[in-house]
Amino acid sequence: MSSTGALISYLGLLADDANFGAYNLRHHDLSQFMRLDASALRALNLMPDPTGMGGSAKTMSVFGLLNRCKTSQGTRTLAQWLKQPLVNLHVIEERQDLVQCLIERQDFREALLATLKLMPDMHRISKRFQKGAANLEDVVRVYQALLHLPGLVTTLEEGGFDHERWTSLIKDYWLDKMREHVAQLATLQEMVEVRDPDTLWH
């Protein structure tokens, strides 16, 4: 609790009334991840040298070699996975199976990529909404992303996978969460699409 108090103080969360009731404490199971300190990260050369003294990021770090991500969100996820390696064999094998699915099913991978390229950086936009700093442009960008979500859900539903395990993993990791997001954001989509001010007021 002392560490949490120090973090709240450092972030200045209590200085803004808008933060009250906006956060929840959740348990994060650290036992599933290998602990790597700054010295280990440098020794393993996992991430690019922030000082720029270590040479080209594409040839001098594991992150640079692996990073072929098409979105900023994917780049952040890759960095997080490298900094927090899994030790849970079951979850590691699930990730490997998903990667194998994307490698072997080029049509499925390209269909996902075509939609994901149209998506804004939802992580950063959500942070602005949480801080109450979002503007009309952010609302429109989320709305435009919502218009693509049904197609993304359809792609995940109609993958036509040969392996039942792939179908199960895609449902658990992606499809169920995507359906939940679509349902949660339906109200925002309706608010953007409404044209009658009286209807919006009611």
Between CA 151 and CA 56 the distance in angstroms is: 38
Between CA 29 and CA 135 the distance in angstroms is: 35
The total number of residues shown for the chain amounts to 202
- Position 199 pLDDT exceeds 80: no
Between CA 185 and CA 146 the distance in angstroms is: 8
Give me the half-sphere count of Cα atoms (radius 13 Å) on the Cβ side of residue 141: 16
Between CA 37 and CA 182 the distance in angstroms is: 38
Would you say the pTM of this structure is higher than 0.75? no
pLDDT: which is higher, 5 or 19: 5
Task: Answer yes or no: is 21 within a domain.
Answer: no
pLDDT digits (tens, 9 = 90+) for 55-90: 554 668 899 999 988 888 889 999 999 999 999 999
pLDDT band at 132 (very low <50, low <70, confident <90, very high): confident
Range of the domain at 178: 88-202
Task: Answer yes or no: is 64 within a domain.
Answer: no
Task: Answer yes or no: is 4 within a domain.
Answer: no
Between CA 139 and CA 27 the distance in angstroms is: 31
- Paired tokens of 20: 């009250």
**Highest mean pLDDT out of 15-29, 64-78, 152-166:** 64-78
Mean of the per-residue pLDDT values of the chain: 84
Between CA 102 and CA 125 the distance in angstroms is: 27
- Position 142 pLDDT exceeds 70: yes
pLDDT of residue 196: 52
Task: Answer yes or no: is 122 within a domain.
Answer: yes
Given the structure tokens 């939609």, which residue do they identify?
Answer: 115
pLDDT of residue 200: 44
Q: What is the total count of domains within the chain?
A: 1
Residue 33's SS3 state is: strand
Q: Tell me the CATH number at 123.
A: 1.10.1420.10
Between CA 174 and CA 80 the distance in angstroms is: 18
Task: Answer yes or no: is 101 within a domain.
Answer: yes
pLDDT band at 193 (very low <50, low <70, confident <90, very high): confident
Task: Answer yes or no: is 72 within a domain.
Answer: no
- In the chain, the amino acid numbered 11 is L
pLDDT of residue 202: 41
pLDDT of residue 55: 53
